[in-house]
Chain A
Amino acid sequence: MTDLDIKKGSNNKSAYNLRDPLSELTESHTLAVMVDNESGVLARVIGLFSGRGYNIDSLTVAEVDHSGKLSRITIVTNGTPAVIEQIKAQLERMVPVHAVHDLTVEGRTIERELALIKVAGSGEKRVEALRLADVFRANVVDSTLKSFTFEIKGTPEKIDAFCDLMRPLGLKELARTGVAALSRGK
């Protein structure tokens, strides 16, 4: 197109403004999807992901506006930039979907997850678990003579790190909520 006197990317919707659309590298994105809290809406969203072969790394959903019957679905997904764009476009055209926010590109975000972690052990390991929990600011929400149940909240990475440390110390059971996320500011 050297003959054409058109500046590529002069339009803000141009494909040239995508972050390298043809990149084969997958990236992780956190999407916040506002939906009508109607029957089957979660199945619809999940069905889109499974039907079109997209990935779900984490999923959180709850009604956030009781009077307006709106739910917020927070999905952590991964894919190439082109796939991420497709996911957003496919979500946006669903009838119960009001808005799709790609928190990963909309600026800085706060991401939080909560986990409950049961660690069983005795002696030195038990003490070490408690000490590390303190470092990570995890609370003990249940304890027996042979176990602790910690409650920890933070970014998924922080929880991953804590779980990795707890594993050799006797991690027995783990429950995670998935990510809740908001963009910073305003």
Chain B
Amino acid sequence: MPNFTGAEIVIKSLLSQGVDTVFGYPGGAVLPIYDEIFKEKQIKHILVRHEQAAVHAAEGYARSTGKTGVVLVTSGPGATNAVTGMTDALMDSIPLVVLTGQVPTFMIGNDAFQEADTVGITRPCTKHNWLVRDTNKLAETIHKAFHVAANGRPGPVLVDIPKDVQFADGIFKEPKEIKNTYHVRRVRPDNASIEEVSQAIRNAKKPMIYSGGGVINSGKKASNLLRMLVSKTNFPITSTLMGLGSYPASGENWLGMLGMHGTYEANMAMHDCDVLICIGARFDDRITGRTDAFSPNSYKIHIDIDPSSINKNIQVDVPLVSDIEIALKEIINTWEKGGSETQRTSIKKWWSKISEWKNVKCLAYKQAGEFIKPQYAIDRLEKITSKMDRYITTEVGQHQMWAAQYMKFEEPNRWMTSGGLGTMGYGFPSSIGVQIAYPKSLVINVAGEASWLMNMQELGTAVQYGLPVKQFILNNERLGMVRQWQELLHGERYSHSWSESLPDFEKLADAYGIKGITCSNPKYLDDSIEEMVNHPGPVIFNCVVEKHENCFPMIPSGKAHNEMILGEIGEKDSVDSAGAVLV
């Protein structure tokens, strides 16, 4: 059997896993691998400007394509910089394989230059990680890493490769030669549970479907099955931030996003429903509000691939540990075999109740005066781009919630956002990853100026690879969400929640040789957005918006779904001391 160097084995393993794109940054401990990348033309390496951005870009790539994202960084600071991205991917179940260089095995533990205990540091922020001490184990480990990242509940994994292992000779193996001991739980749900679910569908008078990112992770077929279930049953459906797009926003049964900044109708329906079907979501605290008052009268069904998600935050009646696609298929089949019944009259009544809630028009805003309302900016962006082949990424904060509220997603994998970890600085590199995957599509990062500054160094990457990513920055010169919470909870003491010394965004664009647009007048907004969209290269769009706009509706911390606040009235006293300690 021919021997290869460890570095060659890394590249051969990536190729046999079908990898065509790697996001990375070189350094001393990965030089042998970079030497192989130099020779290998089949793998496109995207040089980022910071390792955190490499991971977010890989996340954007993975989320938009359904493939596993690959990251290559060096030891020590390279690895520690990647930690935030891996934690983000772990929280949002994004499959990533992160390869890190390490100091040579004989120097591990000696506080060598650029040494860090990478597997130790990343143990809690990966699904699994490996330190490879033997070149003969390298191919096997990389193949296992890809297997673990993508199977079951997806997530990031890390393979730490000491430099001497990269230089030494060893045996290469193909993926099919590897026996995976890790149990894949792409399990079929048990019949009794399926029967219970279909019976609940038959008997539900006030049903509610609450779907999440798991539907998107399960694949396109799962989204189609979800649509089928909704249209066959006429049940109302809401979704988490991570799940947007699996059911189309134009669909008749769509109630909008639920949760802390979800719509009034979605949250009220969650509170009042009698059967709650949770599909690929995890009852996160942004969704539930006060857990002891969460959907108090409903019979709860939870479909999730990860058994540890079941009964973690909310006790459910029927847990289904299963891949979403398989579970939905079986549920629809069993329910149809039993006669496709639903409580039509009751559900009709339920829908009229829901329309009353819809009539509250919780997302209404008034664009008046000479300042651009941030909601208006997002609304216009949506209207102008909705028919285009469009991918949206976001940073984290008010703009993210407005984007989730006002933008309409018709397909899965079109919406990339940092949900669980809430990582400011996610959006820009993520948009780069998406644009790499879809060079011809329109990729817009909806950002706030504060978040955007956290990874603005990636302008270099966008320019180097000619990526026409559009940075749509809602600039309120504030850390908007922090400011909002300080207004509501901390007596309007705005401690360090403003952006001082902001760059002149047009000059910044100019410095990188790209287009900069500033718009502060609602009259010119549409034209400016058109200009951005039609420009063939990257654009920094500085959208100067009203500074003190709050994001509503909102379930204040420690409150239940039926205690939402809709607007400015009474908001100051809406959080009590028990709620104030929550985040």
Contact = CB atoms under 8 A, between A and B. Distances in A.
A79 interface: no
B200 A93 contact: no
B317 A16 contact: yes
B123 A95 contact: no
Given A3-B274, A22-B315, A90 B203 contact: no
B131 A10 contact: no
B254 interface: no
Contacts of A13: 190, 193, 318-319, 321
A86 B274 contact: no
A26 B120 CA distance: 31
Interface centre among B127, B298, B315 (most CB of A within 10 A): B315
B406 to A, nearest CB: 36
A14 B317 contact: yes
A85 interface: yes
Interface in A61-109: 82, 85-86, 89-90, 92-96, 98
B205 A3 contact: yes
A16 B119 CA distance: 40
B307 A89 contact: yes
Residues of B in contact with A, size category: 35 or more
B131 A39 contact: yes
Contacts of A15: 311, 315-317, 319
Interface of A: 1, 3-6, 8, 10-16, 18, 21-22, 36, 39-40, 43-44, 47, 51, 82, 85-86, 89-90, 92-96, 98
Contacts of B297: 1
Contact of A1 (B124, B299, B316, B321): B299
B181 interface: yes
A48 to B, nearest CB: 8
A13 B119 CA distance: 35
Nearest to B206: A3
A21 to B, nearest CB: 5
Contacts of B153: 93
Contact of B275 (A4, A39, A93): A4
A3 B319 CA distance: 20
Interface in B176-197: 181-182, 190, 192-193, 196
Interface in B207-245: none
A10 B321 CA distance: 17
Given A47-B123, A51-B124, A95-B182, A82 B275 contact: no
Nearest to B314: A15
Contacts of A8: 317
Contacts of A11: 190, 192-193, 196, 318
B200 A95 contact: no
Contacts, number: 86
A15 B307 CA distance: 13
B311 A6 contact: no
Contact of B308 (A1, A43, A44, A90): A90
Contacts of B203: 3-6
B284 to A, nearest CB: 15
Contacts of B306: 93
Given A13-B319, A15-B316, A47-B124, A93 B193 contact: no
A23 B182 CA distance: 34
B310 interface: yes
Nearest to A51: B124
Contacts of A90: 308
A71 to B, nearest CB: 14
A1 B123 CA distance: 43
A153 B299 CA distance: 50
B120 A43 contact: yes
A85 B311 contact: yes
B196 A10 contact: yes
Given A4-B199, A82-B315, A95-B148, 7 more contacts: A3-B274, A4-B203, A5-B203, A40-B131, A90-B308, A93-B308, A94-B128
Interface in B310-362: 310-312, 315-319, 321
Nearest to A4: B203
B204 interface: yes
A98 B127 CA distance: 15
A102 to B, nearest CB: 14
A84 to B, nearest CB: 11
Interface string B459-477: 0000000000000000000
Interface in B111-148: 119-120, 123-124, 127-128, 131, 148
A6 B315 contact: no
Nearest to B125: A51
